[in-house]
Amino acid sequence: MTALLRIEDVHVSFAAAGWLKALTSGSPRRIEAVAGVSLDIATAETFAVVGESGSGKTTLARAINGLVPVSAGSIAFDGRQLTGLSEAAMGAVRRQMSMIFQDPVGSLSPRLTVRAILAEPFHVHKMAGRDLESRIERLLGLVGLTADFAERYPHQLSGGQARRVGVARAITLEPKLVIADEPTAGLDVSVQGEVLNLLNELQARLGIAILIITHNLNVVRHVADRMAIMYLGRIVEEGPTETIFAAPRHPYTLALLSANPEPDPDAVIDRIELQGEVPSLLQRPAGCEFHTRCPWAAGRCRSEAPAVADLGGGRRFTCHFPRQG
């Protein structure tokens, strides 16, 4: 598989400040939000990164797009090394790598019309021309909106309409990769389905790769070819989506899947209730960092960090005592 995006051992850390710094007795401490992540995304592939709030998935997305600095490791996009690029150089890369932000309405400037919002990328990258109006109309058509939406302001849009405008903005310059951070957050279930179908249609039509950041497993199963599970800034399991849903190997993955809502009221589900809270990033547990919540943790888990087990076919996980599926 030729990788469009290749992430190798990426770390992202932030200096502790305020009350967090006070908890560390004023000593210089850093919070490692992303701790050694490696993954590849192929051209025209949909890849999902899944995890609870605070797992580091949004920080990873922002690091890929150059919005937060990488502390260590490397990120390569379309054969070009991104780590350490200047903001000016990164601006050129963003023509081929766009982002859909979490808040559908809040991510759109309230002072601009939809026309101005969609025209802005063309102006920023000096690509505006006499056919700009027809381009904007085409973009609106691609995301299922009529031309009259160009005159509206964000406050005049529903959540679903605002999300469609956000998607249209993301594909204005025909990128090779779209990073979608919680693309269905805050939307009604019916609208979520519309947005997911829209992303699928655009990918099939335009051949773009999509990286979806989400905690919604139903979203993942609907659209993702492959997926990775993050916990405390690390990937604990990765593989083809259907394979992981059918036979999860890491206990954390199994717990997430067991907690996924089931629409069938007669379905019998063996729920796995994780005990305790997610550990602080300032005080990571020794050994396997999931052992404080794992129902199957043993002595080895408390003292020895598990190595990455590679099953082939893109199937990887980190666990001393993996589930057998």
Task: Please give the pLDDT value at position 264.
Answer: 56
Task: Please give the pLDDT value at position 170.
Answer: 93
Q: In what order do the strands lie in the sheet with 30-42?
A: 30-42, 3-15, 72-77, 80-81
CB atoms within 10 A of CB 79: 9
Task: Please give the pLDDT value at position 151.
Answer: 96
Question: What type of residue sits at position 51?
Answer: G
SS3 content of the chain, % helix, strand, coil (to 5): 35, 25, 45
Mean predicted lDDT score pLDDT of the chain: 89
- Domains in the chain: boundaries: 3-262+269-317
Lowest mean pLDDT among 27-36, 132-141, 143-152: 27-36
DSSP secondary structure letter of residue 319: -
**pLDDT for 27 beyond 60:** no
Task: Please give the pLDDT value at position 110.
Answer: 94
**Closest residue by Cα to residue 33 from 280, 286, 303, 308:** 280
Residue 89 CA to its chain's centroid (Å): 23
Q: Which CATH class is domain 3-262+269-317?
A: alpha beta
Q: Please give the structure tokens belonging to residue 33.
A: 């939000």
- List C-alpha distances in Å: 260 to 49, 137, 228, 240, 256: 16, 39, 16, 18, 6
Residues 6+ apart with CB under 8 A from 121: 127, 169, 172, 173
Task: Please give the pLDDT value at position 29.
Answer: 75
Task: Please give the pLDDT value at position 126.
Answer: 83
**pLDDT for 24 beyond 60:** no
- What share of the chain has pLDDT > 70, as a percent? 92
Please give the residue that has the higher pLDDT: either 227 or 191: 227
Residues 6+ apart with CB under 8 A from 314: 1, 226, 238, 239, 240
